[in-house]
Amino acid sequence: MKLQLDPNKTYAIALEGGGARGAYEIGVWKALREAGIRFNAVSGTSVGALNGALYALGDLEKATACWENISLNQVLRLTEEEEQRLSSLLQGKLDFSWVKSVQDVQAALNQAGDILKNGGLDIGPLREWIAQVVDPHALKNSPVQLYVTTVNLTNRRTEEIHIQEVPEEDICNMLMASAYHPTFRQEKLSGKNYADGGFFDTIPLNVLVENGYKDIIAVRLPSIGIERPFKKPDDVNVIMFKTRVPLGQVLNFTSEQARFDLQVGYLDAMRMLYGLAGDKYYIDLTLSEEEAMAALARRSLFKGRSRSLPRYMEMELPARVLLLGTTEKSYRAYLLCLLENAAKEKKIDPFRVYTDLELFTILQKEEKK
């Protein structure tokens, strides 16, 4: 596999908000570290701010362990009735798409509190979790600059906070401020009320550009919020890392889901870092056009119907892959399409990296069975 990013550059990373889906961002970090990709700045919104703090602290093993062992009771203290009401919220009964201003944010918070009763959810466990995993002194002195996005309700303005400029005693509060979900009980942080930064900018690219960073990796999550307009300057390069795989619900904080999202984040990053092919699988294309043509000639493996090999290769094969959604005209593209389709039919594990030859060999063995 050939690395597609320049390891001699130093990047900045933007982390999107997305609640429990944030485990994905730690999986991306693992792939970046293995590839030797360096970064000197991180921006984050909501869970992206919390993960940004972990990125800046540099302890990938600790960050991975934190997410692999996450549970909802580490984030929220819920009564049985609140669990039921929260389940209703996760099914889409609370919509914040109408929020356009700081005043709207306050109205949204009031609406969420009314639905949940008692003014919102008790986030005492989340405070304790942040205090356990984040060392404010180490973060303030980290060479990796951290910027977090939040909405300051007290001052009625949005804020992009440079954590290294915040007093140590306020750092954990500012991380909490960025992740202050509308279902949370409204409590003051360092004397002020805040709301989730997703009400201002779910993917904080602008703050990195405004602070002079030119090479940016943006880690996207499926999220609900407002994406601040971003016009990329000509001298700025942005590489988007995003998933095609459904991740868990926003508040589905379970170890099982987090481990899955970590794995997907790692594999999606590998796809971007090394140019892996495939839609449903992660495939390193190693075969030449001639080798791919020879593999495709095994019609029994790919259910070729024509008795004539030339007719199969020149007419039946292109027509079949077109029906499967492939428009590129090359034997390598045809082979990739049919490998994925056959692997899916045989229920081959999609969550690992294969070479095209390796996947072809696995399918040959399945055919013999």
> How many residues does this entry show for the chain?
369
pLDDT digits (tens, 9 = 90+) for 288-315: 999 988 888 775 566 655 566 666 677 7
pLDDT digits (tens, 9 = 90+) for 114-146: 656 666 778 899 999 999 999 999 999 999 999
Strands 237-241 and 215-219: parallel
Task: Give pLDDT, residue 222.
Answer: 83
Task: Assess contact for 275 and 2: CB atoms under 8 A.
Answer: yes
- Is the pTM higher than 0.75? The answer reads yes
Task: Give pLDDT, residue 176.
Answer: 94
If we measure between CA atoms, which residue out of 246, 231, 196 comes closest to residue 96? 196
Task: Give pLDDT, residue 4.
Answer: 93
pLDDT mean for each 10 residues of the chain (369 residues):
93 94 96 97 96 96 94 80 64 57 65 62 89 95 97 91 96 94 85 89 94 96 82 94 88 91 97 94 94 78 61 70 76 88 92 94 81
Task: Assess contact for 94 and 111: CB atoms under 8 A.
Answer: yes
